[in-house]
Every structure is written in structure tokens, then in C-alpha cells.
Amino acid sequence: MEKVKEKIRDNFFVLLIFILTILILTIPLMQEKLIYGDDMWFHLLRIQSLSDSLKCKSFFVKINASMANGFGYASSMFYPDLFLYVPAVLIAFFNLNLVLSYKIFVFFLLTLMFVLFYKSFLYISDNKNIALFGTVFLMLSKVMVLSLYSRFALGEFIGFIFILPALVGMYDYIYKDFSRPQFLIIAFIGLINSHLITGLIVLIFCLLIFIINIKTSIKNPNKLLKLLGSTVLVLLVAAYFWMPLTEQLLHQKFYLSNSWTDVSNEEYTIYDFFANPKYSIGYSVIISIPFLLYGLFSKKIENHAKKYFYYFILITTLLVLSPVWNVFSSGLNIIQFKWRLLGIIIDLYIISLVMVMKEYLKEFNSEKQKLILLISFSILAFFTFDNYNNYYVGNLKYDEQYIKENLYVNTESIGGGFEYLPIEVQNPLDIFHSITNIATINGKEIKGEKYPNLIFSLNNARYRWRHN
């Protein structure tokens, strides 16, 4: 017991910042209703359909029978949903409603995010206060806040949790002794089980870093062997998902085979990068840029801190440079939207900022560091509240009853591109206008108690799942 008390005393400030951060980030959830976000219907039905399957004692399904107005939809085949079993279990086995289960799930995700971010930044900085600064800056960034609420991009938000550990894992491989391969292992298992597009972006970036620093692998073959071993472990653990997915893609054409977006037609300027109301890194980054630039020109700062800033500049330039997207649009369409790069961009920026702070705050004692952190926290909280104001205005609020009545039949509940439908389905929206067939005799509905000996033959019949 004494050891526990001592640990709490030693980490009291960390716990305080954790509570304050979670409190600020869950303010929009502190009401009975749920505020609408872009992909709300799709992700809520993903959760509800899993709970429907669990109630039928079907575990780890690939076809979500209750989606697409009861005709079924292969969301779980193409969109990883391992994490969604948390709220699905709460609904199916603990009888909680969908809205409450979702809110508990968000709290769980934010806690997981704080822990992984803090551990990652602590490994880079070796300083608790600086690690807290990086954690708070990233969690309260506009990219994170709006992806969770305004965009309701649940899968992508879960994927954001694992971008930083992946980057720190590569940092460990390139600049240290690669004693923590668990960063990369946890990161890519998490990415494969949350959001494949985010995982693809992170994988390509990690390969880029690997190639740029190929000398590290040549000089340290043991590192390379450990990296290869980690890769095999990730593939084995995630095989339950990617193997069935690969099989389907090799034998069947789906809507996702033909991109429903064109990144070359999507205008995204440097103004959008900083100030777009929904897809930007926000003003909190702008006010910190002078400090970062001042630090990067100092001889005190290590070169790898500057490299991460150069990576930030590189991907930002790619994001706002239209000719690149025009030339390579056929290949880049796989990420669907340019602004999907914002997740890795904000991580790279804050990593370089943390490395600069690591050097400059050495001269300050712990109390002064905490004061700087609290001031920074207050500024970031102000910008977060400002983002909430923009989010609240113009967005409808739905209660549990309304969501329950409209969830299965809302046309947004299978996504905007109908990606997981076979290409042979010519008019996807027709499934939401189909009339449920009811067996009748002389125009009257057949009821079991009136015809107890009635037998149906379902050979060659077409049927669909019908929720209660």
C-alpha cells in the first residue's frame, strides 16, 4: 500500500494533467444527446451491428447482417473493428444503450491515447514535464479534436492513437539501440485494427525514413533482424484480418476498387492548412512556430530534431502542392482526401517541438517547467473551446430514441462511397427504399397463433435480417 501511495505522490502532477485533459476533451459528451458529426451514422451502426451479432452469439463476423437496411454489408471485412467490440459488448451483455456505450468508449480511447502519447514522448525527452507538454499539445490539437467530434471519424481517430508510437519506434531504430521494438509492434497492430488508410500513410513514411537512413541497417544487422522479427510478429497477430480481406479483393470487385474521390480535384491551400474550419492544424501551431524555428537554428539542438521538422515541411509541401496530386492522382486516390496527411503532419511537428524543448528547458528546474506547462495548457484549452464553439453551431443533437429509430435506415449508415458493396450492385440506395415482404393469405398477414401448423419452405428464397 505504501508503494502505491508513493507512486501516486511521484506522479501526482501527471495524474492532474491527465484528469484535466480528459475533462476538457469530454465536454461535448456531457449531455444526454449526441451532437451530429459527418460520419456519425456509419460508425454508430458499425457498433450497433456488432452488438446485434453478439446477441445472436456470432463473434468476429465479417458480414454485418443488420447494416444496409437488413440486407447486410461487409463493413467488418474491409474496415477493422476490433476496438469497436468494447462498446458492442457493453450493449449486448450489459444492456447499456448505444449513446452511453459510445461515450464510455470515447473515454477509454482518450485514456489509451494519453498513456501511449505520454510513454512515447517520455522516451524521446526523458523528462516527465516535457512529455506531458507533448501529450497535451497533441491531444488538444485541432486535428484530434475535430476528427473525434466534428468529423466523427471514429476509425481514423483510433488510428491517430498509434501514429506517434510508430514514429517513436522508428526514432528508436535510427537514433538509439532499438531496445523498444514494442513501440513499432503496438503501433502497427493498432493501425491494422483501426484504420487502414492511416496505417498505409504511416507505413509509407516509415519506409521512407528507413531508406533515407539505410546506413543504419547496414552498420547494425542485429537491428535489422529485430525489425524483421517485429514485422513478422505484427503480420501474424493481424493475420485474422488482412488474410480474409486479401482473399476477397483477389476474387471479387467492390466499389472501393474504383475510387469515389479524386484528390487532384480537391483544392487545399496553405490557408486551409492553418485555418480551414474542419481540416487544418489550427492556430495553436502558428503561435509555437517562432519558438520552434528559433530553437532549430541553435547549435545546441541535435540534428535529428531538425530532421523531424524537415519531414514536417516535406509532407506539408506535398499536401498543398497541387501539381504533385495532379500527376500522381491515380495512385494517391487510395487515401481519398488530401487532408488525411494532417494526422502524421501534426505528430511530426510536435515531435520536433518536444526535442527543442528538451534542450532549452534543461536550465529550468521542475517547478518552472510545470509552470510553463500549465500556461501552455491554458492556451491550448482556449483554442479547444473555440473549436467546440464552431462544432456546436449548426449541428443537430440527437437523443437515443431518435438514433435508434433511424440508425438502420439512414442512407449515410453505409458510408458515402458504398465501398464494401459488390460492383454488380447498380443502385445502392435502392436497398433503403425496399419494402419488407410479409407473408399473406388473401392480403392478410399470416400470424403463427392463427396458423399453428403452417410450414414455410425457404429454398431459393431471398431474405434479409430484420432488427427488432
- Give the span between the Cα atoms of 62 and 59, in whole angstroms: 9
* pLDDT computed for residue 383 by the predictor: 81
Q: Is the pLDDT of residue 438 over 90?
A: no
Higher pLDDT, 62 or 291: 62
pLDDT tens, position by position, 41-68? 999 999 999 999 999 888 889 999 888 8
**Beta-carbon count within 10 A of 116 CB:** 21
* pLDDT computed for residue 467 by the predictor: 47
SS3 258: coil
Q: Is the pLDDT of residue 283 over 70?
A: yes
* pLDDT computed for residue 410 by the predictor: 85
- Domain presence at residue 353: yes
- Domain presence at residue 195: no
Residue 61 has phi, psi (to 5 degrees) of -70, 160
* pLDDT computed for residue 439 by the predictor: 54
- Domain presence at residue 204: no
Give the contacts of 296 (CB within 8 A, at least 6 positions apart).
Answer: 305, 306, 309, 352, 356
Q: Is the pLDDT of residue 184 over 60?
A: yes
SS3 407: coil
Residue 442 has phi, psi (to 5 degrees) of 55, 40
Higher pLDDT, 434 or 244: 244
- Give the span between the Cα atoms of 320 and 271, in whole angstroms: 9
Q: Is the pLDDT of residue 370 over 90?
A: no
- Domain presence at residue 461: no
When divided into structural domains, the chain yields a total of: 1
What grid cell was written down for 287? Answer: 503561435
Least confident residue range of 6-10, 16-20, 323-327: 6-10
pLDDT tens, position by position, 441-466? 555 555 544 455 555 555 544 444 44
pLDDT tens, position by position, 110-132? 999 999 999 999 999 999 999 99
Q: Residue 444 forms beta bridges with which residues? A: 441
Q: Count how many residues are written for the chain.
A: 468
Of residues 135, 71, 144, the one with CA closest to residue 428 = 71
- Give the span between the Cα atoms of 208 and 367, in whole angstroms: 40
Question: What's the mean pLDDT in 177-202?
Answer: 96
pTM attached to this predicted model:
0.90
Of the ranges 227-241, 368-382, 419-433, the best mean pLDDT one: 227-241
pLDDT tens, position by position, 322-337? 787 887 777 888 888 8
Among left, alpha and beta (phi > 0; psi -120 to 50; other), residue 410 is beta
Residue 205 has phi, psi (to 5 degrees) of -65, -40
- Domain presence at residue 170: no
- Domain presence at residue 110: no
pLDDT tens, position by position, 61-84? 999 988 888 888 999 999 999 999
- Domain presence at residue 205: no
Give the contacts of 350 (CB within 8 A, at least 6 positions apart).
Answer: 134, 137, 138, 141
- Give the span between the Cα atoms of 198 and 187, in whole angstroms: 11
Give the residue numbers spanning the domain of 339. Answer: 259-363
- Domain presence at residue 266: yes
